[in-house]
Copies of this chain bind each other. A is one copy, B any other.
Amino acid sequence: MISKTVADEFRSIVGDDWYLDSPEDLATYSYDGFLPEFMPDAVIIPAGRDEISRLMQVANREKINIIPRGAGTNICGSSVAREGGMIIAFHRMNRILEIDPESMCAVVQPGVVNADLQKEVASYGLMYPPDPASMFVSTIGGNVALNAGGPRGVKYGVTRDYLLGLEVVLPTGEVIKTGGKTLKNVSGYDLTRLLCGSEGTLAIFTEIILRLVPLTPAKATLQAIFSDLDDAATTVSAIIGSGIVPTTLELIDKVILDVIGDYGGARFQKEAEALLLIEVDGEESLVESQGERIENFCKQRGAVSVERAGTPEEAEKLWQARRTAFGAVASLRPNCIVEDATVPVKRLPDIIRKIVELANKYRLKIGILAHAGDGNLHPLIMTDLRDEDEMRRVDRALEELYRAAIDMGGTLSGEHGIGIAKDRFMTMEFSQRAIDIMRGIKKVFDPNNILNPGSFL
């Protein structure tokens, strides 16, 4: 709870209009892409760094929990007030401060929407590669806090690979800068990458410096249908192992293909057990030759059909199945749990077999969508949170899935984060000592544990 005196202090910092505490406003910020709801005590929308610094001093003094939140699209529950407190929202800090095409970097405020930045830098012939599915609403600040990935990750990596520097407000209200505008920087400990993926638990970002790359002139988009899921999975590792680095290499299994068809999306041939969506980008000639090689790879490994887009419109059509998948799946049962356990690419066929086995064993409807090119799976568990028996089976299946992924050299989460969704599984991946070190780091930044407490540590 925030007392009236303290609330007035917050109001005096940001102005009455930017401190919200009506039940309707609070409800809007009570959930994110993860399902459970937690009502915050207040929401504050500061204009910039100095206001954040002042409000953090109050929060730290009064030990009020602070939860920084971008668009709230994360699906691990890392932007909700699990233990009460005040949400900081960044709608007013949404300016692109600088685009420097010669040094190939951009400086932005945390509230800039990913797609807005993409569009703006494209007008300079540049690209900001990280493309989470949420990119049309999610913010750069949230992307950095979660170290967001996306389909282009196979070739281009994740948010961390494009983060050069930060200005942040510490939980104590102090401001520090890390990194800078250079590609190379080895001064001191790498606080920049430590803050990337820290899920709002260490500091509040107020300025973000990002690396940009040249926009590529051409791309080829292919869709291959397989009558055997295993053939599709081994084709993925064969392509990756062949020296081609695709931009995107997505896999969709029969469960989801059928749901898409029933939903009114594309209908695939009856024997379709898996679909691969493959994209390469680069110079025209390279894209042409790699497209041809990939087509042959798929055919050699038993694809029943391979289509290559000749125009951007045809490419968009091939993306349709992938883009429809989430909506289609959501229509089927009340809830859908999107998993993202990740394995080394070589183990992709093994983990896919494991998921099929778990679906049978625990009588669950699980479809598989995967950023297959980097071993980042998205099993979609179609379920009903109100069905206690089924939820117990889901929990046991998840536990077995994580165990299998980690045994294969993988991880609990490739790109979605830990948050409150997977915090109880951390000891599977990390020894107690490693977790203690993370807790020690948390304490160095946030001695009073006011920043997003209760999330993952």
Contacts and interface: CB of A to CB of B under 8 A. Distances in A.
- Of A105, A182, A438, chain B has the most CB atoms within 10 Å of the CB of A182
A142 interface: no
Nearest to A442: B189
A175 to B, nearest CB: 8
A182 B102 contact: no
B197 A194 contact: no
A431 interface: yes
Interface string A425-437: 0100111011101
Interface string A278-292: 000011011001000
Given A214-B244, A286-B283, A434 B176 contact: yes
Contacts of A415: 184, 186
Contact of A177 (B100, B345, B347, B434): B434
Contacts of A414: 182, 184-186
A153 B186 CA distance: 13
Interface in A308-331: none
Interface string A171-213: 0001111101111111111110110111000000000000001
A245 interface: yes
A172 to B, nearest CB: 8
A366 B233 CA distance: 57
Contacts of A430: 176-177, 187-188
A104 B437 contact: no
A426 B188 contact: yes
Given A215-B243, A418-B188, A104 B444 contact: no
Nearest to A290: B283
A186 B437 contact: no
B158 A161 contact: no
A353 to B, nearest CB: 16
Contacts of A193: 160, 190, 193-194
Contact of A182 (B342, B433, B437): B342
Name, among A197, A289, A343, the residue most crowded by chain B CB atoms within 10 Å (CB to CB).
Answer: A197
B283 A241 contact: no
A101 B241 contact: yes
A430 B174 CA distance: 13
Interface stretch (A114-122, A254-262, A380-388, A404-412): A404-412
Contacts of A283: 283, 285-286, 289
A88 interface: no
- A-B pairs, top 7 by smallest CB distance, nearest first, are A440-B444, A103-B344, A214-B243, A184-B414, A102-B346, A193-B193, A181-B409
11 contacts: A102-B241, A147-B186, A153-B184, A175-B431, A180-B409, A182-B374, A186-B413, A188-B435, A190-B197, A191-B438, A437-B444
Given A157-B161, A182-B343, 17 more contacts: A100-B344, A103-B409, A104-B241, A146-B186, A147-B186, A160-B193, A176-B433, A177-B434, A178-B434, A182-B376, A182-B411, A183-B375, A185-B413, A186-B414, A188-B429, A215-B243, A283-B286
